[in-house]
């Protein structure tokens, strides 16, 4: 990483912060330029419009997903199922650290940006896909502990669903309870999957001994 | 209901539609007045500001939850668990009917409106609470079919989580699959609860016969 940020990087980071803290529509060009300490000439050298900048913001999130979100979890936690719950716990910490104002920046854009802007939604979907692909990879690492026939794609999207729905309700309620409640239900869901697989493995082993 | 809408009602309904279709921030006063066929004098007779109007929009959603969302489900479906899944299927139909542009209007506002506007978030939370209270009531009606000790508050918030997370992903992906996948996982979650309760009931019955 270069010691000083380029103007382009400064503009993207300013937009990341402003779109996150106040939303895309509510953020004006003047605010972005002021926060980035850039003038409108350099803005239009790099970006065609605020819409174009949003594309780069979504690329930035996608590029940072692995190093910022997942790498620390992979370093700290070995158990693949616990890695999934460590990811969710990271969101819990963000909710608490921001005094409940946290919202998932991608989820927020998914609901805010009109569907006619297909290229933006393609990038939002790509962010969701990268998130669920990493969860799916954890599920793959725990394959022998899950019932055969478990649909990893489906289950990984369900984990994202739980995060997004939990974050949204925690924000409105200014309380961690709806998030915790949702994660606790997800934990029960996983526990039952793990128990079902363990029982099935025992039965197969016992059958194997008898044959 | 009066044969003609009052000016106040027309303004609220125009705002309901505009905040829903394009978001709160992106909606200007001029648009609201035009859609409501009202002038600014009559607007300010009823509302202090666009912010004040948002309060009335959230009251409108709360008042319509039971008659619009639940009453048809209660009329059409008797099984309390199936009523919950009929509710979710209603959202599925909305996603399909809007060609994936549907988003939950309350969920969208939960993420869009800044947390400093506590009275707005109180009303958003009241809408969430009314939704989950109705789900909780269905769970209460199915109490004998669920394991003893099931936390109905937690499970009903989990159902809302699944709806919100599923709707959000379906919108970004322009595909019903993420919603269907999430609901299918929730169905499995419920099936396991129903099976666990049935087994426990059988065991208790069998124990009763032996005593």
Domain boundaries, chain A: 1-57, 78-210
Q: Per-residue pLDDT tens for A47-73?
A: 999 999 999 999 999 999 999 999 999
Q: What is the mean pLDDT of residues B110-115?
A: 92
CA distances from B95 to B74, B135, B208 (A): 21, 20, 49
Q: Closest residue of A to B107, CA-based?
A: A168
Contacts of B24 (CB under 8 A, 6+ apart): B50, B54, B109, B112, B113
Contact B173 A107 (CB under 8 A): no
Q: Percent of chain A at pLDDT above 70?
A: 98
d(CA B54, CA A188): 38
**Residue from A19, A158, A174 to probe the interface with B (highest B Cβ count within 10 Å):** A158
Task: Give the residue among A89, A132, A84, A86 at the shortest CA–CA distance from A107.
Answer: A132
Same fold, A1-57 and A78-210: no
d(CA B204, CA B210): 10
Q: Is the pLDDT of residue A9 over 80?
A: yes
Q: Cα–chain-centroid distance for residue A125?
A: 11
Q: Per-residue pLDDT tens for A140-188?
A: 999 999 999 999 999 999 999 999 999 999 999 999 999 999 999 999 9
Task: Give the residue among B119, B108, B130, B121 at the shortest CA–CA distance from B20.
Answer: B108
Q: Closest residue of B to A27, CA-based?
A: B25
A1-57 CATH: 1.10.10.60
DSSP A143: G
Contacts of A54 (CB under 8 A, 6+ apart): A15, A19, A24, A109, A113, A120
Q: What is the pLDDT of residue A1?
A: 46
Query: Given the structure tokens 């609201």, which residue do they identify?
Result: B32
Q: Cα–chain-centroid distance for residue B50?
A: 23
Q: Which residues of B touch A31 (CB under 8 A)?
A: none
Smallest Cβ distance to A184: which of B108, B154, B163? B154
pLDDT band at A202 (very low <50, low <70, confident <90, very high): confident
d(CA A204, CA B140): 38
CATH class (in words) of the domain with range B78-210: mainly alpha
Q: What is the pLDDT of residue A170?
A: 98
pLDDT band at A4 (very low <50, low <70, confident <90, very high): low
Contact B112 A107 (CB under 8 A): no
Residue B23: CA atoms inside 13 Å, Cβ hemisphere, count?
20
pTM score of the predicted model = 0.93
Q: Per-residue pLDDT tens for B9-56?
A: 999 999 999 999 888 988 999 999 999 999 999 999 999 999 999 999
Contact A169 B110 (CB under 8 A): yes
CA distances from A147 to A201, B50, B82, B198 (A): 9, 53, 26, 21
Q: Is the pLDDT of residue B3 over 60?
A: no
Residue B87: CA atoms inside 13 Å, Cβ hemisphere, count?
26
Contact B44, B29 (CB under 8 A): no
Q: What is the mean pLDDT of residues B131-158?
A: 97
């Amino acid at each position: 990483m270069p010691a000083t940020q380029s103007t382009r990087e400064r503009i993207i980071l300013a937009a990341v912060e402003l779109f996150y803290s106040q939303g895309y529509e509510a953020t004006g060009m003047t605010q972005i330029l002021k926060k980035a300490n850039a003038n409108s000439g350099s803005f239009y050298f790099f970006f065609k419009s605020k819409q174009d900048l949003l594309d780069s913001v979504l690329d930035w999130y996608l590029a940072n997903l692995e190093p910022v979100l997942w790498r620390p979890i992979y370093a700290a936690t070995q158990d693949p199922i616990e890695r999934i719950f460590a990811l969710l716990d990271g969101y819990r910490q963000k909710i608490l650290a921001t005094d409940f104002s946290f919202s998932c920046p991608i989820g927020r854009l998914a609901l805010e940006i009109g569907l006619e802007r297909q290229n933006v939604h393609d990038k939002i979907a790509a962010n969701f896909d990268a998130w669920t692909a990493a969860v799916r990879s954890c599920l793959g690492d725990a394959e022998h502990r899950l019932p055969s026939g478990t649909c990893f794609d489906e289950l990984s999207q369900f984990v994202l669903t739980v995060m997004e729905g939990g974050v949204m309700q925690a924000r409105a309620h200014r309380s961690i309870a709806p998030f915790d409640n949702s994660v606790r239900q997800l934990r029960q869901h996983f526990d039952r999957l793990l128990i079902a697989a363990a029982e099935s493995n025992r039965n197969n082993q016992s059958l194997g001994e008898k044959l």
